[in-house]
Amino acid sequence: MKIALGVTGSISAYKALDLCRELTKLGHKVRVILTRGSLEFIQPKVFTYLGAEKVYDPSDDFSELSSHDQDLQGSVLHVSLAKWADQFVIAPLSANTLSHLTAGAAPDLLTSLFLAWHQDKPLSIFPAMNTHMLTHPFVKENLEKFSGFKNCFVGPTQSGLLACADVGDGKLAKVEEILKLIETRTLKTSKKTTLITAGATVAPLDNVRYLTNAASGKTSIPFIEKSLSQGDYVICIAGIYATKELELFKHHPHFKIQRVRTTREMQKAVLEAFPLSDLYISTAAIGDFEFVAQEKKLKKSDLSDSLKIESSPDILRSVLDIKKPHQKVIGFAAESDLCDEVLLTKFKRKPVDLLIGTQVHSGLTGENQAQGFAESFATYRFVDHLGKLGKIESMTKEEMVTKAMTCFNS
C-alpha cells in the first residue's frame, strides 16, 4: 500500500516516527509530508532512516520533482501525491492545521494535498492537542465538519497526562491502534457480517475463585483483520480476560466488541448476534463445565474431596441448531491429540463447514511446555465440510487464517 503520512506541529509528532517505521516494516511505501510546525519537534531525515521513501518540507510544492519522484504523475507535487497514494493519514493533526483544512486554506504542501485528495480514497486524521483546545467550540465544530467528508475517518484521542502537565483528553491515539485502523480500512463493502468469539470463558466457584483455561484470544486477531480488510462488519464476543489487543479495533467503523465472563453469558450474546451474521468463527476456548457458584468464599472446612460440577451450554451446538442455509460456521477444537478419531468424533457431533483442530497444552502439568495458547505459532489439522481430514501442520496463526479462509471460500 502507498501511504501519504502527514505530520503537523503537535508535541506528539515524535510518535509519527514510530508509525512510519512500523508501516515500512509491514511492507508499505510511505512518503512523509511535514508542516512548518512539525519541524520544531522532529528532524526530517530521521524518517528516511526509518524507511520512508521520501520526506517533503512545507515549501517543496514549489520545487522541481527530484529523482525520488519520477514515479509520480504530472509536475505539480500536491496533485501528483494525491494520485500516487492509496491512503492519506494525518497523525498527529494539530488544531492549527485542522483550521486550515476546514477553511479550505492551502498555505503549504500538506494542506494543498488535502484539497487535491480524491474523496474516493481513504483519509484518516488523528487529532492531538491540549484538552482545552480539543474541547474549544471552534475546534469541535471543525472536527464535526469531517463527518460530511466522504471516506474520512476521524480517529480517537486518549486521556491521560499531557505534555503540558494537564490531565485530560487529547493524547494521540496509540500507534498500534492507528496501524490496525490503517491496515484494515477499506472502501469495499461486502455487506456481510462476521461473528467471532475469542478468548476463554470463566466458571466461578465462589465470589473469589474461578476455573478457566490459558486461551488468550490471539487466534481471533488475524480473522478480524482479514474480515475487516474484505469489507465485512465484525462483531467480536470476547472473554473478559481475552487479549487487550482486541481493543485496538474498537474505534474501527465496522467493528463492535462485547466482553463476557461465563459460558452462559457468551451463549446469550452469540445467539442474539448470530441471526444477523453470515459467518460464525468460534475461536473461543469455551469452558465445558461449570460450578454451582457460591455467593461467599468457601472455607476449607466447607470443602469436601470433590466439587459438584455441571455441563456448561454447548454454544457451537446451539448455533448449528438454528443455522440457516446461507450461514457458514468455522469451528475450533482445542485438543491434546489431533488423531483421526478425536477430530472425526467432534465433527460428527458438530458438522461445521470447516473444523480446525488445534494442538494445545497449558504447560502446567508434566514436563511439557505451553503449546497453542498465547503463541503466534501452533499445530493445526483441518476437517472440511465433508469430513475429510487434512494433514497435521505447524504454522503461524496468520498462515492458518489464510489457509482457512481459502478453504472456506473455495
Q: What is the pLDDT of residues 182-219, one digit of tens each?
A: 999 988 888 899 999 999 999 998 888 888 888 899 99
278, 327 contact by CB (below 8 A): yes
Rounded Cα gap, residues 387 and 328, in angstroms: 15
Q: Which CATH number fits domain 2-184: 3.40.50.1950, 3.30.310.80, 3.40.50.300, 3.40.50.720?
A: 3.40.50.1950
Q: Provide, rounded to the nearest whole percent, the portion of the chain with pLDDT above 90.
A: 71
Largest Cα–Cα separation, the chain: 85
| Peptide bond just before 92 cis, omega within 30 deg | yes
pLDDT at position 209, please?
A: 86
pLDDT digits (tens, 9 = 90+) for 306-361: 778 888 999 999 999 999 999 999 999 988 889 999 999 999 999 999 999 998 86
Q: Identical fold at 2-184 and 193-409?
A: yes
pLDDT 10s digits, 85-118 = 999 999 999 999 999 999 999 999 999 999 999 9
Within 10 A of 89 (CB to CB), how many other CB atoms are there? 26
What separation in angstroms does the CA of 215 have from each of 188, 212, 366, 367? 32, 9, 19, 19
175 to 20, 109, 155, 217, 347: CA distances (angstroms): 10, 24, 11, 21, 41
Please identify every residue annotated as catalytic: 164
Measuring CA to CA, which residue among 222, 216, 219, 218 is closest to residue 200?
216
Question: Does the pLDDT at position 80 exceed 70?
Answer: yes
Q: What phi and psi values does residue 344 have, to the nearest 5 degrees?
A: -70, -35
Q: How far apart are CA 233 and CA 188, in angstroms?
A: 11
From CA 322, how far away is CA 183, in angstroms rounded? 34
357 neighbors 390 (Cβ within 8 angstroms): no
Sorted by where each begins, the domain ranges of the chain are 2-184, 193-409
So what's the pLDDT on residue 271? 97
Alpha helices of 198-284 — where are they, by DSSP H?
Answer: 220-229, 263-273
DSSP string, 131-185: HHHHTSHHHHHHHHHGGGSTTEEE--EEEEE-TTS-EEEEEEPPHHHHHHHHHH-
**Alpha carbon separation from 10 to 36, 93, 296 (Å, rounded):** 11, 7, 52
Annotation: CATH topology of 193-409: Rossmann fold (3.40.50)
Answer for the pair 169, 134: CB distance below 8 angstroms, yes or no: yes
Residue 338: partners with Cβ closer than 8 Å, 6 or more residues away: 357, 359, 379, 380, 381, 392
For residue 49, give the H/E element and its range: helix 44-49
What would the pLDDT profile of 351-362 be if each residue is shown by its tens digit?
Answer: 999 999 998 865
